[in-house]
Chains A and B, each alone.
Chain A
Amino acid sequence: MRMFDGRVLLKQVILLFWPLISTWVQGAEKIDSCQLQVLEMLSSLGSAGGKSAKPSFVSYVTPEEIKSEKEPSRKEKHPDLLPGEVVFCSASTVLKYTQDDLSQRGVFGVLLCTNFRVSFVSDEEPTEEMGQLFKNKLYGENDIPLSCVDNIYGGSEDKRKLITGGLVKNKYPSKMIIHCKDLRVFQFSLSFSKEEDAKKIFQGIVHHCLEPKSLRCLFAFSYCENTSYPEAQRKKQTVMFDSVEDWTQDMKRTKGNCRVVSENSNFELSPKLPQYFIVPKNVSDEDLTKYQGKGLPMWCWSHHSGCALFKTASIPLVQEDNVPQTYMEKMLTAVAHNHLYSVKTEDLSDTLPTVQDILLSYNKFKQFFLIDNTTEFWMSDMKWFSSLDNCGWLDIIRQCLQKAVEVVESLEKENTNVLIMEEGGSDLCCVVSSLVQLMLDPYYRTLLGFQSLVQKEWVAGGHAFLDRSNHLHLKDKVESQSPVFLLFLECVWQLQQQHGPAFQFSETYLTVLSDSVHVPVFTTFLFNNDGHRDSLLRAESPHTQRSPLNCPTVWDWSVQFDCKAQDLFTNPLYTEKPKQDTSVRKSYRPRHLRQLSLPSSAFKTPPKKGFFKDEADNLKKILGVKRLSRWMLSPSSDSPQTSSSVREFYEAWQTKPLDYHGLLLPCLDGPSIRVWMQRYLRWIHDVQILGGGPVAMLSKVSEILGEVQELQRQLDRHGCTLTSNHKGARPRAKTAAAVIAARSSVRLSSSFPFVTSRNWAFKPAIPTSLLQSLMVTGMPGNLADREDDGGPESLV
């Protein structure tokens, strides 16, 4: 790739690229009449400082310029626009700095802002096709979906200022730094562009990325109107939990014995409640309508012993008014009735960090990865561990996992019903309940199972994705922003890291899923709950017959990746549970029953915290307490005891042979909770291990897996009976391995598949500023200054 020294070549470059300045028009010309309507609507929202209410593209160029850009060679100087995508503004001769050093080098190109993304199109001819393997079909490596923009900084010389939107009128900085939510960092210099263009692109990007907007302006709506997804293909086998059948099925699968509620199918009970849900048998119709669903125990999962996990939005218990308390009491009794009159409740608001804590911690944490340059990187390397520690992110992950283990212990060891609650009931409740199910139920560790779990607990479960991500930049929603779903994925990653072979999906899958939250195309992450989704999709539908707008969900992976790339979502270490012989199958029991490694009978210890029928009277007493205490039936259990009990539970589990298709518990010790390297370090040039990293090993596994699968196909063709232990050698009809297998591990780097090594010189990263890094202090007798081999014979 050619590099320009910006300052020296300034003149030359401007001459060279003058004709390109208005290349965006190519995109504009594509817009047909029906899209103009959209364009008008969007531009009237105030593109480029609300300059005009008309389609704004006219005002950007003079007719002469339009003539001059008709050269065919310039055709490709805009990204391939997606259906429904419209260019708002653009500027040419923008310099995109290469990230890896301070030398101010970079590549020139056109910077555009569309209704979907900020896009940089390099003037350089695309070099190799190396990066094509894991190409995202929606956006490329130089594209930033608008919702993915995290912060924009204006820079001049060495100062850097956070742009908060609205402030800039006529000024624009010479340098624009964009931090993305997927942790990429872009730096653009606007000093070589025409002043007018630079101002417009800067203001345009700031406006579209940071200013409040309405939900209808999100790209999904214009995208979906212009594309169609065949419904049948779209759902595949992910259980969407948008029908009575889906819920009934899941309850049957886990042998639950609760009541499926379909009274809310038109959101008559409450728009905040899921369309369909499950409650304990003893909950009456009348109970359903009280408190807009607050306090209603929603079934999550049933343990094979019969006890089950429920979650609920807690009702603020007002002291004088006794009504909610009576209601709560009734609900608790209903939960207790589910199995052996036992119940434990846990108010997560009391014991886990708040959504604000989570946001604060993550904001500190992510800064360690938004690295502008090499110097900054090595400076921060010195205090890496303590910085990590101080931001508390890993500790929050640990706390969530620990809480989940506590719940697992209650279900698995004590066979007690558990009701977790929090205000809203759709944040940490979702985190904990999903983690519990991942640990207990191997089905959720398959790819489709996991997707179904997210549908069940998060999407149908009413996690407020829209508010939590604040895609719309609404000022009144700033407070509710919080990366709760990411926190969940982090916890899953920890589990997966510790017990790799237990998961059918790969680390890459989780990373991509975490990125997809910020791609405003999928209905999965755009709404706050079922009711919200339903009403908007109906309202936006172009068809009068009120069939809702047909949008892809994130599980339609083919929207983003082709099949080959999707192969990287499966974990080559995963093996299916070896099938048992047919005689066993006759007496059918739900799958998970056979797979739980710890029969509950093994743990029939006297229930420490559970309670049984005769204790039911206590309920009333305890419920009189203003706030439900954690594990309210054992007021004495404070946290050290709990954690030691959890430890015992873990240790008892650990002494048993590990069954990847059974119960999984995470180790919570300091060294075991780690940083999700792939997600956080993938863009940082200095830490890429060329030809190394875990991928070097995994690709060899994939390689051999591919060979084995090929052999199996050949044997099949011969009609050979494979009786022996062909353990999981058939994860899919087609090979999951061919992709990586074709590539020698040498060329892969530790950030595979996200960054390809084509841009890198094979030069080692040598840490700078080493001397300052090690201040050896507090050494007895100043050992640091001593000679290695002291004493009289030290020197000749």
Chain B
Amino acid sequence: MASASIPVYNRSNNPLENSSSQNDPSVTLNVPLGAIGRVEKMGGASSRGENSYGLDITCKDMRNLRFALKQEGHSRRDIFDILFRYAFPLSHGLLLFAYLSQEKYEENGWSVYKPMEEFRRQGLPTDKWRITFINDNYELCDTYPTILVVPFKATEEDLRKVSTFRSRGRIPVLSWIHRENQAVICRCSQPLVGMSGKRNKDDERYLDVIREANGTAKLTIYDARPSVNAVANKATGGGYEGDDTYQNAELVFLDIHNIHVMRESLKKLKDIVYPNVEESHWLSSLESTHWLEHIKLVLSGAIQVADKISGGNSVVVHCSDGWDRTAQLTSLAMLMLDSHYRTLRGFQVLLEKEWISFGHKFASRIGHGDKNHADQDRSPIFVQFIDCVWQMTKQFPTAFEFNERLLMTILDHLFSCRFGTFLYNCESARDTNEVRSKTVSLWSLVNSDSTSYLNPFYTPESSRVLYPVASMRHLELWVTYYIRWNPRIRQQQQSPVEQRYMELLALRDEYLKKLEELQLTDSSPNSSHLSNSSASNAASPTQHINHLHTPF
């Protein structure tokens, strides 16, 4: 950008628009302030060269923006200060945009997820599983939701005891139950075993009660971490369930790496796709980011969970705290097992339930409105999960009611701060900040215009378990998301397959209508079918030429 004029800046916070009046086509950029991760000045007063002085904006959505500014005046200082203030409102004592937005929608997205309703849909409570309100005031666990499902046999007292032995009190609770075989997915955090190898009889009994609930011989505990990391956690008081202490349980490590590894991996990915796609040895570069390899590990972990459940065995899933990898695994397994979550509404419920209500730390992982871009708590765990979902939709293009656009919209508003949906770390924080009453839900936007998020190829199949193939042969980079800012990637509103399908559907309806009309006229006494057809035949010779299919 040679001599870009000052970016036109929308002070109403959102969105930021930059139009550069270059020679001919003016470029209009639309960047939600929430997507800005970092604003830096580049070059100083003494910088030479055309583009050496200006602003460098790093976005959370895989792009960087550079603006060259004129050195005269103090234009840069002003724009920098304003940007810095409004891009990171929380660091400046300001409100997030979601609290200022006046948007109105037909639908109220906050009503999408009602925990009791969802549990009832799953067939809960049963004689083995009960609903407890023990966490009504977030006393048992401040990062859990208020309504929990626990084994019928476990008393409130048991729960309190177990909570002392689980990191941050995140006790094993039910996420999903298989209607037929009653196998359950339970989620929790790591046990506080520590260096000394502490045991907790209550915890051991509690897990055994989970196993007993559907009468299987062994409970499988999936520890999402690599075993080395699980061992290392003992040093800080954590650890894993030892074989000798948990008699009827088997422990499987799923080798998924931590949030820091994922963050670095996506950073590397960004390096090879933005601003230009790496030319030479693209595939090797892609491999060296390990991004798809991590996706593969997460997916194959979820496949194992889903497979166990289908086989009638209950499972317990945890990582360290049970809000990152655990959420990925349980929600993906549920997506494989339960076709309801593959619908537009069901997917919203899944996110609300497994991610939002169970305390995935969105605020820390994304850093909404926070200027501290180097915060080690940031990590694209949720992006990675959505990528896994995308991989599944790619492999099963007819199994999901929603389309790619929904996934992109979710990721855009993960950062945008326009909706309250992904704000804050847990339910208790959301209550304190009155998110539900003061902000709009993302699902209000989506459900008010649900047709544009629907997959025309969707074919409901209620009882089918979807097992994606977690092989590098099938995993592919989500080009339309990660490389969407590249002008050479054709952004298609609709895939050609989809377009063709819609055309044909319209054509079918048109013909059906015509046929109906014809049959009506045929049955009317005054028009004889024969004369009718011969007349129109004679009248349309060109039409019949058109029918012939011989291009050459």
Q: Which residue numbers of A lie inside 8 Å of B, CB to CB?
A: 237, 253, 377-378, 381-386, 388-390, 394, 443, 446, 448-449, 499-501, 572-573, 575-577, 579, 582, 591, 650-651, 654, 658, 667, 669-671, 675, 677, 681, 684, 686-694, 696-698, 700-701, 704-705, 707-708, 711-712, 714-724, 726-727, 729-733, 745-746, 750, 762-767, 770-771, 773-774, 776, 779-780, 783-790, 794-796
Contacts of A774 in B (CB 8 A): 255, 257, 290, 293-294, 297
When the two chains form their complex, are residues B300 and A671 in contact, meaning their CB atoms are under 8 A apart? no
In the A-B complex, the 6 residue pairs with the closest CB atoms: A670-B282, A719-B533, A764-B467, A783-B260, A385-B287, A384-B472
Query: Which of B237, B297, B511 has the largest number of chain A CB atoms within 10 A?
Result: B511
Task: Assess the A719–B536 pair: CB atoms within 8 A.
Answer: yes
Chain B residues lying within 8 Å of A446, measured Cβ to Cβ, are 551-552
Which residues from B are CB-within-8-Å of A726? 507
Q: B250 to chain A: closest CB distance in Å?
A: 15
How many Å lie between the Cα of A573 and that of B496 in the bound state? 8
A794 to B260, CA, bound (A): 15
Complex-state Cα separation, A788 to B167, whole angstroms: 13
A596 to nearest B CB, angstroms?
16
* Also in contact, A746 and B283, with CB within 8 A (given A443-B551, A443-B552): no
Q: Does B48 contact A (CB under 8 A)?
A: no
Chain B residues with Cβ below 8 Å from A671 are 277, 282, 476-477, 479, 483
A381-B473, A770-B297 are known contacts. Are A724 and B510 too (CB-CB below 8 A)?
A: yes
**Is B154 part of the contact surface with A, judged by Cβ < 8 Å?**
no
Contact of A448 with B488 in the complex, beta carbons under 8 Å: no
What are 8 inter-chain pairs, A to B, with CB distance below 8 A?
A449-B551, A577-B551, A691-B464, A700-B457, A711-B515, A774-B293, A796-B167, A796-B169
Asked whether A721 lies within 8 Å of B540 as measured between CB atoms, the reply is yes
Chain B minimum-CB-distance residue to A698: B497
Interface residues of B in 531-552 (CB under 8 A from A): 532-537, 539-540, 542-543, 546-547, 549-552
Does the CB pair B260–A784 fall under 8 Å? yes
**Complex Cα gap A384–B500 (Å):** 34
Query: Looking at the complex, which one of A687, A730, A771 makes contact with B255 (CB distance below 8 Å)?
Result: A771
Known A-B contacts A718-B515, A719-B536; A745 and B459 likewise in contact (beta carbons under 8 Å): yes
For B512, list chain A residues within 8 Å (CB): 711
- Are A732 and B549 interface neighbours, CB within 8 A? yes
Say how far B268's CB is from chain A's closest CB, in angstroms. Answer: 10
Residues of chain B within 8 A of A670, CB atoms compared: 277-279, 282-283, 285-286
Nearest chain A CB to B324 CB, angstrom units: 6
Q: Which of B213-236 contact A (CB under 8 A)?
A: 226, 228-229, 232-233, 236
Most buried by A among B229, B361, B473, B483: B473
Given contacts A774-B290, A796-B168, contact A712 B511 (CB under 8 A): yes
A385 near B501 with CB under 8 A, answer: no
* B5 CB-CB contact with A under 8 Å: no
Answer yes or no: B397 CB below 8 A from chain A CBs. yes
Known pairs A573-B496, A771-B255 / 9 extra A-B pairs, C-beta < 8 Å: A389-B282, A577-B551, A687-B469, A691-B466, A721-B543, A729-B504, A746-B461, A789-B321, A789-B377
Using a CB-CB cutoff of 8 Å, which residues 330-382 of chain B contact chain A? 361, 364, 376-377
The answer to whether A773 touches B518, judged by C-beta atoms less than 8 angstroms apart, is no
Which residue of chain A lies nearest to B259 when distances are taken between CB atoms in the complex? A788
CA distance A720 to B517 in the complex (A): 11
Binds A, one of B91-99, B303-311, B412-420, B432-440: B303-311
A771 touches B226 (CB 8 A): yes
Taken residue by residue from 49 to 76, chain B's Cβ proximity to chain A (1 for < 8 Å, 0 otherwise) reads as 0000000000000000000000000000
- A415 to B259: give the CA distance in the assembly, Å: 56
Q: Contacts A671-B277, A696-B397 given; indicate if A767 touches B233 (C-beta within 8 A).
A: no
Interface string of B466-493 (1 = CB under 8 A from A): 1111111110110100010001111000
Chain B residues, Cβ within 8 Å of A721: 536, 539-540, 543
Does B120 touch A at the CB level, under 8 Å?
no
* Contact A690/B467 with A696-B396, A767-B296 known, Cβ cut-off 8 Å: yes
B162 CB to nearest chain A CB (Å):
14
Q: B129 to chain A: closest CB distance in Å?
A: 26
B window 253-281: CB within 8 A of A: 254-255, 257-261, 264, 277-279, 281
B157 within 8 A of A: no
Given contacts A721-B539, A783-B261, contact A501 B255 (CB under 8 A): no
Asked, given contacts A448-B552, A697-B457, whether A787 binds B395 with beta carbons under 8 Å apart, the answer is no
Count of chain B residues with Cβ under 8 Å from any Cβ of A?
Answer: 110
* Docked CA distance A654–B488 (Å): 8
- Does B1 count as interface, using CB distance less than 8 angstroms? no
Bound-state CA distance A187–B262 (Å) is 42
Q: Are A700 and B547 in contact (CB under 8 A)?
A: no
From the candidates B296, B396, B507, B514, name the one contacting A691 in the complex (CB within 8 A).
Answer: B396
When distances are taken between beta carbons in the complex, the residues of chain B under 8 Å from A579 are 546
Q: In whole angstroms, how far apart are the Cα atoms of A576 and B497 in the complex?
A: 15
Contact A731-B277, Cβ < 8 Å, known A575-B500, A795-B237: no
**Which residue of A704, A705, A790 is within 8 Å of B376 (Cβ)?**
A790
Q: Min CB distance, A124 to chain B, in Å?
A: 27
Contact residue among A667, A686, A715 (Cβ-Cβ distance under 8 Å from B518): A715
Residue numbers in A under 8 Å from B226 (CB-CB):
771
B264 touches A389 (CB 8 A): no
Asked if A720 and B281 make an inter-chain contact with CB atoms under 8 angstroms apart, the answer reads no
On whether the beta carbons of A788 and B258 are closer than 8 Å, the reply is yes
- The residue of chain B having its C-beta at the shortest distance from the C-beta of A442 within the complex is B551
B458 nearest CB across to chain A (Å): 10
Choose one: A686, A698, A783; the contact of B258 (CB below 8 Å): A783
Give the Cβ gap from A789 to chain B, nearest Cβ, in Å. Answer: 6
B283 interface neighbour in A394, A500, A576, A714, Cβ under 8 Å: A394
Residue of B nearest to A504 (CB): B551
Cβ B515 vs Cβ A381 within 8 A: no
- Considering the chains assembled together, what is the distance between the CA atoms of A718 and B469 in angstroms? 49
A679 to B542, alpha carbons, bound, how many Å?
Answer: 42
- B317 on the interface (CB 8 Å rule)? no
Are B500 and A501 closer than 8 Å at their CB atoms?
yes
Q: How far is the CA of A501 from the CA of B496 in the complex (A)?
A: 7
Give Cα A187–Cα B229 distance, bound, in whole angstroms. Answer: 42
Q: How far is the CB of A499 from chain B (nearest CB, A)?
A: 8
Residues of A within 8 A of B533 (CB): 717-719
Q: Are B501 and A381 in contact (CB under 8 A)?
A: no
Q: Evaluate contact between B472 and A764: CB separation under 8 angstroms.
A: no
Q: Does B102 contact A (CB under 8 A)?
A: no
Q: Are A787 and B551 in contact (CB under 8 A)?
A: no
Q: Is the CB of A708 within 8 A of B504?
A: yes
